[in-house]
Amino acid sequence: MGYHEPSSRFIGGRLALDFVNLIPPNEELSWDQLIEFLESARIVTPERGGELLALNRSDRQAAESLLRKAQQLAAVLRLAFDAVLRRQKILREWIEPVNELLRITEGHDELVAADNDWEIQFIASESGLEWLLAAVARSAAEIIAEGSRARLRLCANPRCGLFFYDTSRTHRRRWCSMTVCGNRHKVAAFARRHASVGHAGH
Ligand SMILES: [Zn+2]
């Protein structure tokens, strides 16, 4: 499925995984990508998203400060999730940026009208922009706290690289998406079988 494809945005099953899945390991998140994510994840309304996009010009310092925090969060979460996958130690220095965001998340939940439904939305008492990353930090904290019990997986397609949370009944999900990566694998396996049959000359 791969990065930069809109369809890959929310296959993670957990907000923190979708956040890390936004960009490949060696790329840095851009302001536009961050705001688009916040909108798609419904952390901000499209109206607020539009205002935030403009912030990059109107208050560059505030925008850059938030973007740096988001980039740092993405980087440490990738390290932490890789460590969870490999059953390795999660370092305190990766945890600190997560805790920093959790600390500023005082507030309360409220029911907010969304289209024809009601949604629970977090209303922060803090007016700073960092609270925009709070839900991602909270989601990441839950996965990290689950540790080796977390059903965190990396797509079995080595060229894919997307994380997902395995909620399947058998806990044997291997692909970010059966229709994309899983299907590609099946096609390749079929081609290999077909080729070897051909070589054997029946
Ligand atoms: Zn995949």
pLDDT for 53-92, tens place per residue? 999 999 999 999 999 999 999 999 999 999 999 999 999 9
**CA–CA distances in Å: residue 189 to residues 18, 81, 129, 184, 192:** 29, 29, 48, 9, 5
DSSP alpha helices (H): ranges in 26-133?
31-40, 46-58, 60-85, 92-103
Distance 3 CA to ligand 1 centre (A): 9
Q: What is the pLDDT of residues 153-202, one digit of tens each?
A: 999 998 899 999 999 899 899 999 888 898 877 777 777 777 765 554 44
Tell me, in angstroms, the distance from the centre of ligand 1 to residue 24's CA.
Answer: 13
Taking the centre of ligand 1 as the mean of its atom positions, its distance from the CA of residue 16, in whole angstroms, is: 17
- The predicted model scores a pTM of 0.81
CA 148 / ligand 1 centre spacing (Å): 22
- Centre of ligand 1 from the C-alpha of residue 77, in Å: 19
Q: How far is the CA of 194 from the centre of ligand 1 (A)?
A: 24
Specify which residues 108 forms β-bridges with: 123
